[in-house]
Chains A and B, each alone.
Chain A
Amino acid sequence: MTRTRMTRTRMTRVAVVDYGAGNLVSIGQGLEAVGAEVAWAPDGDSLGEADALIVPGVGASAPAMERLRDRGLVDPILRWIRDGRPYLGICLGLQLLFEGSDEDDAETLGVLRGRTVLLEDAPTLPHIGWNQVVARRPHRLFDGIRDRADFYFVHSYAGRPVGPDADELTLAETVHGRPFLSALARGPLLGVQFHPERSGRDGLRVLANFVRLAAGQAGGRPAAMAAVAAPTPVRTA
């Protein structure tokens, strides 16, 4: 397995929002495998002095938003994004960035213009398995990964950006029926519809690239020794 050695004196600390949605174990293990320090964030007070934030999740938007609200995470996440700090949304964590979801009419974070919509003309639903990620423009998130590499997907819905910057936002697309948004970037705001933590070596490279981007942005900031939330292996409500 690829292991990225960090050249910095301290490890990059990645806060992973823990709101009872999805396989957090593998995200934590993936981050550790690429040399990051994982700080579980079960509530709004625990994002702390992390260098980067990952919002994971699979499933429906409405219960996810409800859990984020219950745990006081919505405002801290919005503030984090507004402050231009490194963010990676995985699967549902990407979809929540848009204004709402057709799946259950949930109102979501609304950071990006557009909605989460059902995959169109999909031959099978859910879209489960490995599929090609086709780059629309180069980005450091995919450094060292060939174009059209395969990543692992598990979903039925995908984000659909609208507005003048929709094209610019689109980092990559994937075809299942019609093409859908499989990766996005707007400055330090990143999102992938696939699961890097379950996508073998290339998936770990994506995590490593994200950690490296975050470390670059956090460079110069003093090592934060603030209390880090204890790991919480229990993640379902």
Chain B
Amino acid sequence: MLRRRVIPCLDVANGRVVKGTRFVDLVDEGDPAELAERYAAEGADEICFLDITAAPEARATLLDVVERTARRAFIPLTVGGGVRSVDELRDVLRAGADKVSLNTAAVADPDLVRRCAARFGRQAVVVAIDARQRSPEAGDRARDVASDVARDVAAYNPQGWDVLVRGGREATGLEAVAWAERAVALGAGELLVTSVDRDGTQSGFDTALLRAISDRVPVPVIASGGASGPADFVAAVIEGGADAVLAASIFHRRIHSIAAVKAAMAAAGLPVRLVEPAVA
């Protein structure tokens, strides 16, 4: 039976793992390849790098990190952050990544998803969706957004979720479930769904958002944003219908181990891959 995956996510800036408020007060947390190897040994099913380096010239540094990681952690690697073209996606895959996640670039140019999937297969293309629950005020904001892709603004659903881009700072007028279906139709092989409301709050995943999307698409949905403990991972799968669950800070700060999360999932009857500890 297909296992529910647990995926630690590492923020990478200038080739180093960093921790802190996005883009400010970054604290160096170590070498991405080394941390990825450690997580792999601890039972991570996959590794996700989110490159938060702003400068395009740092691209070579990222590719070097991907290459070194692929050499040390023999589990799948997804890389996101700043990829805007088929060529950039190709470079990341060539360095040794298995999948690339597209976010802002996919909203700005939805056909990019189709082009990347046609070239490398849909399994290599993850579309990341940052979503925020709608409210009457959010509806007013969304209507103000002048965007070529905001085709569903007229049919604004106040029960839905807004898609945000640029690290959750900019609204698009898109509704998350509708965008998820469109992204899959274009060729996304997986969806990485982050609740902006929950991200960093440790108040649990937005299972309603996850369920709304997972019920509507055939591809795997990866839950992100809000993990505080093992029970949240269980809820993301059982209530949200997620195939995989991603988290950052609770693993980095060693609040919970991957093994503890998986043990809780197994106890709840979920199929997980259990890794026997390495013999040192």
Interface membership of chain A positions 209-236, coded 1 if the CB is closer than 8 angstroms to chain B and 0 otherwise: 0000000000000000000000001111
Find A203's partner among B1, B74, B90, B120 (CB 8 Å cutoff): B74
Interface string of A25-43 (1 = CB under 8 A from B): 1100110010000000000
Residue of A nearest to B97 (CB): A23
The answer, yes or no, to whether B171 is at the interface (CB within 8 Å) is no
Contact between A126 and B45 (Cβ–Cβ < 8 Å)? no
Determine how close the nearest CB of chain B comes to the CB of A32; give it in whole angstroms.
8
Q: Which residues of B contact A236 (CB under 8 A)?
A: 90, 93-94, 119-120
Partner of A129 from the list B70, B124, B243 (CB cut-off 8 Å) is B243
Highest count of chain B CB atoms <10 Å: which of A1, A129, A176, A204: A129
Q: How far is the CA of A151 from the CA of B67 in the complex (A)?
A: 22
Q: Is A152 an interface residue (CB 8 A)?
A: yes
> How many A residues face the partner with a CB closer than 8 A?
37
Closest A residue to B95 using CB positions: A25
Nearest residue (CB) in A for B278 is: A201
The reply to whether B76 and A198 form a contact with Cβ atoms under 8 Å apart is yes
Known A-B contacts A1-B74, A129-B2, A129-B243; A124 and B98 likewise in contact (beta carbons under 8 Å): no
Contact A198 B74 (CB under 8 A): yes
| B220: Cβ under 8 A from any A Cβ | yes
Residues of A within 8 A of B122 (CB): 126
**A 3-46 to B, binary, CB cutoff 8 A, 1 in contact else 0:** 00000000000000000000101100110010000000000000
B260: chain A residues at CB < 8 Å are none
- The answer to the question of B59 belonging to the interface, with a C-beta cut-off of 8 Å to chain A, is no
Docked complex Cα distance between A40 and B265 (Å): 42
**Interface membership of A60, Cβ < 8 A:** yes
Residues of B within 8 A of A124 (CB): 2, 218-220, 243
Nearest CB of B to A16, in Å: 14
A interface residue numbers (CB < 8 A to B): 1, 23, 25-26, 29-30, 33, 58-60, 123-132, 150, 152, 154-155, 175-176, 197-201, 203-204, 233-236
Mark B residues whose CB is within 8 Å of A.
1-5, 40, 45, 67, 70-72, 74-76, 90, 93-98, 119-124, 189-190, 218-220, 243-244, 273, 275, 278
- Provide 24 A-B residue pairs closer than 8 Å at the C-beta atoms, listed in order of the A residue: A23-B96, A23-B97, A25-B67, A26-B70, A26-B98, A60-B121, A123-B2, A124-B218, A126-B122, A128-B220, A128-B243, A129-B3, A129-B4, A129-B244, A130-B273, A150-B273, A154-B98, A176-B2, A198-B74, A204-B74, A236-B93, A236-B94, A236-B119, A236-B120
